[in-house]
Amino acid sequence: MALKVIRKAAIIFALTVLGIISFANAANQNSSNVYAMSTNVKDDIYEEVLSASLLKELQQASNNYYENSYPVFPTVELDTTELQQIYKQKGKTIIEFKIMPFIGPHNTVGIDHLTLSLDNRGNIMVVDYKHSENF
């Protein structure tokens, strides 16, 4: 009888240890997935903040391009703006965007690519604006 109790206790102990090990492994795998996801989310947030901080300049560049094309200026929003590339050139930060200005309930007027230059004093200048596709 005592042997049966010891066997049951040993089996329960072994299952408990295996369960703890399995749980620890699963927790490690999940935490690495969460870390990878949070890194991507963090990058997305940086891109979103940068794009949002330059939205006025993007809107003004779009206004300048479309000023004689429509009775109202097409709207540039964060949801229709895509950060394409950031790099340094001659001491300035160059930022390239793809925007899709729209009128009314998101009637896109085209796809535009524009390049901004930022100097070390915070001055922002439109370097290039290309209208690449009409809708």
Domain segments of the chain as ranges:
54-134
Q: Within a 10 A sphere around the Cβ of 117, how many other Cβ atoms?
A: 16
Residues 110/134, Cβ–Cβ less than 8 Å: yes
Q: Which DSSP helix (H) or strand (E) runs through 38?
A: helix 2-53
Assess whether pLDDT exceeds 60 at residue 61. yes
Q: What is the pLDDT of residues 64-101, one digit of tens each?
A: 999 999 999 999 999 999 999 999 999 999 999 999 99
Between residues 53 and 4, which one has the greater pLDDT?
A: 53
Q: What is the CATH number of domain 54-134?
A: 3.10.450
Q: What is the pLDDT of residues 7-58, one digit of tens each?
A: 555 455 544 544 455 554 555 554 444 444 455 677 789 999 999 999 999 9
Reduced to 3 DSSP states, what percent helix, strand and coil does the chain have, rounded to the nearest 5?
50, 30, 20
Residues 123/55, Cβ–Cβ less than 8 Å: no
- The greatest distance separating any two alpha carbons of the chain, rounded to the nearest whole angstrom, comes to 97
Q: What is the pLDDT of residues 97-134, one digit of tens each?
A: 999 999 998 799 999 999 999 999 999 999 999 999 98
